[in-house]
Amino acid sequence: MSKPKSFLSIIKPSSFRTLLQASASSASPASNAPADNAQETANDRQTVPIDATWFMPNSPRNALEEYQNERIPHARFFDLDKCSRDSPYPHMLPTQQIMAKTIEQLGKGHIKPLDNLVVYDKVGNFSSPRVAFTLKLFGYDRVYLLDNYLNYKNYDYPLDLNLIKTELIESETNVENKQSQNQTKVHAQAETQEQDIDDKHLPLTAEEFEERYDREVIEYEELVNLIEEDHIHEYLVLDARSPDRFSGSAPEPRPGLSSGHIPTAKNLPFTKFLDQEQNNQYKSRDELESIVKEAVGVEQLDEIATKYPKGIIVMCGTGVTACVLKLGLENVLKLQNVNVRLYDGSWTEWAMRAPEELIVKDV
């Protein structure tokens, strides 16, 4: 059976409701039972809301507590910080094994690769683009970004306000305690773990994942090499942080971390892609086109592919809000013939690892 065409789509609350109704009407009686991958069909497909709310370390808000008190009915809580590989940098992309275990516990064994996964967060569009991208990266190929939860609430669509106990959430969404307490041991036993995970929780083979990862993500070592070999000019590097952090005039929210930017980077704050008067929903295609042309310094969008033949690299503080840019460029602006890669470690990794001469300050 050939692998279906994958996509990540941005949908409005009304389209989400239509998707829910379509899933309910087509669901087979056995659709809640774990299915054989080879036998999955559209009739087996369920629609799963995923609460991907996450806040900056200096925020007083608590995403888990807010999920406990209010959520879209049947939503599952995705903990961005806990679904991460062992690293000194926060919420780095997980391994296939960690992601598979997260999904297994997130859906209590019932989320399948062909299911509709609808991701949202309670800020509007902040952390949900990162989680939507992560799901797509790991082979969950029917991923939707809800644009957005705040507008969903304004339309008076259903909410679940019943309190969920912390113990229940932890038992359903946390990666195994041994895994989170001793990541080094996990990685040493990665081959054994992969054999223990049912194939239905690994939508991509190792080779397929590596190919997709290399296309969608860039790591520190490659980025440093591009700068040292003077090939960085073939890429457009967009930094989604605020102008003052980008210039180096304001401190980073993480204590002791230098602000500034990498050589050749251009500043395009993720907030420019969002309409604050409409609860941080994505702006229109025409608005994004004007914003990007001004930030990049081109008169036409097709100049980007010519001027930057290797594509675009997006980054931010820790790889979260850069995904607001990535999804906006790909799914709203719909750039043609331009590949957009995420620098996962983003500025936090760069400021901690890069030599001083590769940290640029404009002040």
Tokens describing residue 320:
């979260």
- Residue 92 pLDDT grade (very low, low, confident, very high; cuts 50, 70, 90): very high
With respect to residue 189, please indicate whether it lies within any of the assigned structural domains.
Answer: no
Please check whether residue 47 is in contact with residue 55, taking contact to mean a CB–CB distance below 8 angstroms.
no
Tokens describing residue 119:
């991701």
DSSP 317-330: SSSSTHHHHHHIII
Catalytic residues: 316
Tokens describing residue 199:
């194939």
- For the whole prediction, is pTM greater than 0.75? yes
Planar angle of CA 12, 13, 15, nearest 5 degrees:
70
Q: Do 259 and 324 sit in the same domain of this protein?
A: yes
When divided into structural domains, the chain yields a total of 2
Q: Do 225 and 344 sit in the same domain of this protein?
A: yes
Q: Do 137 and 232 sit in the same domain of this protein?
A: no
Note the pLDDT of residue 43.
Answer: 62
Q: What percent of the chain has pLDDT over 70?
A: 83
* Lowest mean pLDDT across 155-169, 252-266, 272-286, 289-303: 155-169
* Cα(252)–Cα(257) distance, integer angstroms: 6
Placement of tokens 């389209």 in the chain: 15
With respect to residue 190, please indicate whether it lies within any of the assigned structural domains.
Answer: no
9 Cβ neighbours under 8 A, 6+ residues apart: 143, 144, 145, 331
Average pLDDT (131-153) is 96
Q: Do 266 and 344 sit in the same domain of this protein?
A: yes
**pLDDT higher at 159 or 24:** 159
Note the pLDDT of residue 26.
Answer: 61
Domain limit, last residue, from 166, 181, 206: 166
Q: Do 140 and 247 sit in the same domain of this protein?
A: no
With respect to residue 158, please indicate whether it lies within any of the assigned structural domains.
Answer: yes
- Residue 24 pLDDT grade (very low, low, confident, very high; cuts 50, 70, 90): confident
Q: Do 240 and 159 sit in the same domain of this protein?
A: no
Residue 133 β-bridge partners: none
Domain limit, last residue, from 124, 146, 166: 166
- Residue 113 pLDDT grade (very low, low, confident, very high; cuts 50, 70, 90): confident
Q: Do 354 and 223 sit in the same domain of this protein?
A: yes
Average pLDDT (102-119) is 90
Residue 47: strand, helix, or coil: strand
Q: Do 14 and 151 sit in the same domain of this protein?
A: yes
CATH at 234:
3.40.250.10
Residue 225, domain extent? 219-358
Burial bucket for residue 231 (CB in 10 Å: 0-12, 13-18, 19+): exposed
